[in-house]
Structure 1
Amino acid sequence: MVYKFEDLEVWQRALDYADQIHDIAEQLPKHERYNLADQMTRAANSIALNIAEGSTGQSDA
């Protein structure tokens, strides 16, 4: 099943952004991986999740 948000350019860009953030987080020093890296990746993932959640209330008019 294809959801409406999957066709949105902003959602696709959010996924690309999350991938980039995950790559950056892996390059952080070891002492930052558990705090800063975790916070960065959760925030980046949250963008795409919020877009998906916000689109659930929309209907075909």
Structure 2
Amino acid sequence: MDYKELDVWVQARELVKKIYLLSKDFPDDESYGLTSQISRCAVSVSSNIAEGCVRQTAKDTINFLSIARGSLFELETQTILASDLEYLSHDESEILGEIERVKKLLNGFINYHRKL
């Protein structure tokens, strides 16, 4: 199956779009700080899912999926920090819900590959 057809990749890609839309309103002095970091983490999730899907062994695939999961937890932390700094308004719970959905999908995908 092509990785672009996987729900986990599609949802991770949607998350990137939402993170970019949210972070564009961060203060200008954060452009090289939290704005950059949160964007890179969001992109890392979908990128590592894609890279993991083309690996030859389940072990290699799981490694890249685990990196994606680590980036997802970083993204969650950065979203909470952005909220603590009052860069986000009511959007925090919505984006954290999106992150949680991707976490569940990614965990399921990792577990699937562990059984191979």
- TM-score bracket for the superposition, by shorter chain length: 0.7 to 0.9
Give TM-score scaled by structure 1 length: 0.84
Equivalent-residue separation in structure 2 for 1:22 and 1:44 (angstroms)? 9
Equivalent-residue separation in structure 2 for 1:33 and 1:55 (angstroms)? 32
Distance apart, 1:57 and its partner CA = 2.2
Equivalent-residue separation in structure 2 for 1:23 and 1:35 (angstroms)? 16
Give TM-score scaled by structure 2 length: 0.46
Percent same amino acid among aligned pairs?
34
Alignment root-mean-square deviation, CA: 1.7
Q: Which residue of 1 aligns with 2:14?
A: 16
- Which residues of structure 2 form unaligned runs of 5+? 57-116
How many residues are aligned here?
A: 57
Distance apart, 1:30 and its partner CA = 1.0
With CA pairs under 8 Å and 6+ residues apart, which has the higher RCO, 1 or 2? Answer: 1
Distance apart, 1:33 and its partner CA = 1.9
Q: How does 1:1-61 map to 2 (within 5 A)?
A: 4-57=2-55
- Which residues of structure 1 form unaligned runs of 5+? none
4+ long deviations beyond 3 Å: none
